[in-house]
Structure formats: structure tokens, C-alpha cells
Amino acid sequence: GNSVTQMEGPVTLSEEAFLTINCTYTATGYPSLFWYVQYPGEGLQLLLKATKADDKGSNKGFEATYRKETTSFHLEKGSVQVSDSAVYFCAVPGNNDMRFGAGTRLTVKP
Amino acid sequence: ETGVTQSPTHLIKTRGQQVTLRCSSQSGHNTVSWYQQALGQGPQFIFQYYREEENGRGNFPPRFSGLQFPNYSSELNVNALELDDSALYLCASSLAGSVYGYTFGSGTRLTVV
């Protein structure tokens, strides 16, 4: 079935540094792909999505491109802020569920 | 539009007890899914309800059960609580399955002692 694998981190960056969190997928066909973010003490929030191959999802300065050649959906941000500190999850739909990676904890230091 | 609301936010129960967690779905959403998130891990799928019927289940024992009501709100019931049931329980609502992404609630933190 569909699944995602993401780098687990943790990742620690200084403010204004460039961020990449890797995610690769295994899927039948070309399902939508998602990135969710979880801030401390909260549930998951949809960060961005891409609904077909070669699509780029973007939100709040974050971007991810759905690349079928490399089966990847890496999350990037050009300049991170302290407020971006959170856990990031890559996800792909299964038959009746959403399947998440293990999560990558990002800490941004001033 | 209102988001997904879960109650209670925190709960402490004793091993062997039963617990009921509640979820109100986002307006317009007809599908509710429940996830268990252990500390430091990704969410694990428990089950999904669509139009009051179970529409898929993950690898959880029968002591995890649920309901969905006509207004699309939902309950998660866990019987015979075990220490390993301690986790954040997340409810997510969506429209017509998972293709369009989920809206998650803030979760219920369950501690079993």
C-alpha cells in the first residue's frame, strides 16, 4: 500500500537558514501528497498539498514539489523563523486513511 | 466555519477502566477519522466513520470502538485500558474520504496509570 518515508531528524537551524526535510513516497498511481505541521501541544495542521505529479504546493513560505521521477516530496523554506519550530509530517492517502511519516522535529534558534 | 473540536483536552484514567472521547467535525465534513499518536511518533490510524458506518480500521484491537452520529460528530471508546494506551488521540474530519486532506482537532491527551 501507499507509504511515505521521511528524514527523522531532529533538525536544528539558526534563524534565516535554509530548510530541507526529505520525504519519499511509495504509491499506486499518483495520489495527492501532503505536509502537515504540529506545533507543541496542538493537533496537526495542513501545511501544503500537491494533487498531481509536477505540482508545487506552497504556504507560509514553505514549498514542496511532487516529483514522480524521484518519488519525492521534499519540504523547503528559504529562511526559517523561530516560530517555525514544530514537528513536520509528510503524508499520503491510503485506502481509507492518511498515512504519515514518523515526523521531523525542527528547532530554530535565534 | 468552525473547526474540529475534541473533548476533553486531558484525561487521566486507571488501567482497566473505560474511556469515551468526543469529537465534533468541521461544518460540511461527513467523514471522521481517529488516530493515536504516541509520544515522539507519527499518528497511527484507528478507524474512520463515513455516514455513521465504520469505513476502514487500522491495526487496533476490538476494545477500541467508535460511533458517528447523524450530525457527523463522533465518539471513540476504549475499554479495558492498558498503560500503552497513553497517547494523544486525534480526531480528523474530511469530505468524502481522505483525498482532499484532513482537518485535525487539537487532540485529547490520555494518560493511563
pLDDT greater at residue A69 or residue B101: A69
Smallest CA-to-CA distance from A61 within A40, A82, A73, A79 is with A79
Stretch B97-102: mean pLDDT: 66
To test the contact with chain A by mutation, choose from B57, B89, B104 the residue with the greatest count of A C-beta atoms within 10 A, namely: B104
How near does any CA of chain B get to the CA of A44, in Å?
6
Q: Among residues A41, A73, A38, A35, which one has the least CA distance to residue A54?
A: A73
**First vs last C-alpha separation in chain A:** 41
B96 has pLDDT over 90: no
Structure confidence at residue B51 as a pLDDT band (50, 70, 90): confident
B→A contacts (Cβ < 8 Å), by residue, are 4, 6, 33, 40-43, 45, 48, 55-56, 58, 90, 92, 97-107
Contacts of A90 in chain B (CB under 8 A): none
SS3 string, chain B, reads: CCCCEEECCEEEECCCCCEEEEEECCCCCCEEEEEEECCCCCCEEEEEEECCEEEEECCCCCCEEEEECCCCCEEEEECCCCHHHCEEEEEEEECCCCCCCCEECCCEEEEEC
Residues of B in contact with A96 (CB under 8 A): 48, 55-56, 97-98
pLDDT per residue as tens digits for the range A2-52: 999 998 789 999 999 999 999 999 998 889 999 999 998 888 999 999 998
Record: contact B98-A102, CB cut-off 8 A: no
Does A61 score more than 90 pLDDT? Answer: yes
> Which single residue is written with the C-alpha cell 521521511?
A6
CA distance A81 to chain B (A): 22
Residues of chain A with Cβ-Cβ distance to B33 below 8 Å are 97-98
Q: Averaged over A62-67, what is the pLDDT? A: 97
Helix (H/G/I), strand (E/B), else coil: A1: coil
Q: Cβ separation of B45 and A94 shorter than 8 Å? A: yes
- Give B54's contacts (C-beta < 8 A, 6+ positions apart): B47, B48, B66
Query: What band does B100 get if pLDDT is binned at 50, 70 and 90?
Result: low
Which residue from A minimizes the CA distance to B56? Answer: A96
Partner-chain residue, chosen from A31, A44, A102, that has the shortest CB–CB distance to B104? A44
A63 or B51, which is more confident?
Answer: A63
CB A48 within 8 A of CB A88: no
CB contact under 8 A, A97 and B98: yes
The per-residue pLDDT of chain A, averaged, comes to 94
Q: What is the DSSP string of A6-40?
A: E----EEEETT--EEE-EEEE-SS---EEEEEE-T
